[in-house]
Amino acid sequence: MAVPPDPGAAVSPGSAEPVGPSEAAGQTVSASTDTRRTTTPAEIAGEASAAAALANPLPEQQARDASGEAIPLDLTAAAFFDVDNTLMMGASIFHFARGLASRKFFETSDLAGFAWQQLKFRALGKESRQGMHDSRDSALSFVAGRSVAEIVELGEEIYDEMMADRIWPGTRALANMHLDAGQRVWLVTATPVELANIIARRLGLTGALGTVAESENGLYTGRLVGEVLHGPAKAHAVRALAAREGLNLRRCTAYSDSVNDVPMLSVVGTAVAVNPDSDLRDVARRRGWEIRDFRTGRKAAKIGVPSVIGAGAVAGAVAAALSYRRRTT
């Protein structure tokens, strides 16, 4: 598999240009953006993700030392964690979709059939450009017309049912290490930002950068702002957040399992490959990045294929299941 291009190669980490105020504030999230600076779907997705993360901040939890004294905040350093197969076993959006299927949002057979097609496309490298666009355009269409509040409430329930016991203890320990050093810890994931925020809050983290679904008057339209937060879009989101928060990216750390996240890993000063797929392991060795693997050999073999698919593909596969069913009936 070819290594994804590094969107940060032409600009040094920490030198991202400041951006304007959040477009995600209020009840409406739209695709409007400053086209003079933000022109590609990946850039739009990254900007929207950073704006949404800061428009609805999670409660700040300051770490304390053994004596109970508050640990001073390190305001220019942060850590960024991918979720699927890095922090959580498997794909968070797939666990969420399973929970929705159990609640009759769509048929489990539809979910399995379409997800298998996407798995073959990504694993074999045979997905067409049109297929990529179709996945992007239909992602999250299964919640079109549903209220944001309803999906968030269901996300809380589904987290308890299907995700809470799938967190890698080793990766969570790494996140806590950064919190204990007074640093902020952000999730960066293709999963919808509402679900990503639930995961971050439950784990006591700072917040989350995730895929932003367009909503109007508190209802999902079934369209995305930009595209799924995947590959280069994650790097754009990290840089946009760093510009807004005054982070020095040279002092930041990023963690991921997938070669698709090389763009994100490349824009920070310290990159760590966690439970890496074979391609990322090769990149990490060539670039001298640290490697952490919390799997046994048996588990690594089982998890390897989903890692190759990438979070964006799984997000598109699961989210498009209902749209696929409509096109084939």
- Catalytic residue numbers, as ranges: 82, 84
Rounded to whole angstroms, how far apart are CA atoms 294 and 300? 9
Number of H helices, E strands in the chain: 13, 8
Q: Which of 263, 200, 276 is nearest to 237 (CA)?
A: 263
Alpha carbon separation from 291 to 4, 89, 237, 254, 305 (Å, rounded) = 19, 17, 24, 12, 19
Which helix (H) or strand (E) is 160 found in, with range?
Answer: none
Name the DSSP class of 8: T
Count of CB atoms situated within 10 Å of the CB of 155: 23
Q: Are 252 and 241 in contact (CB under 8 A)?
A: no
**275: Cβ–Cβ under 8 A, 6 or more apart, which residues?**
85, 86, 168, 171, 257, 292, 293, 294, 295, 300, 303, 307
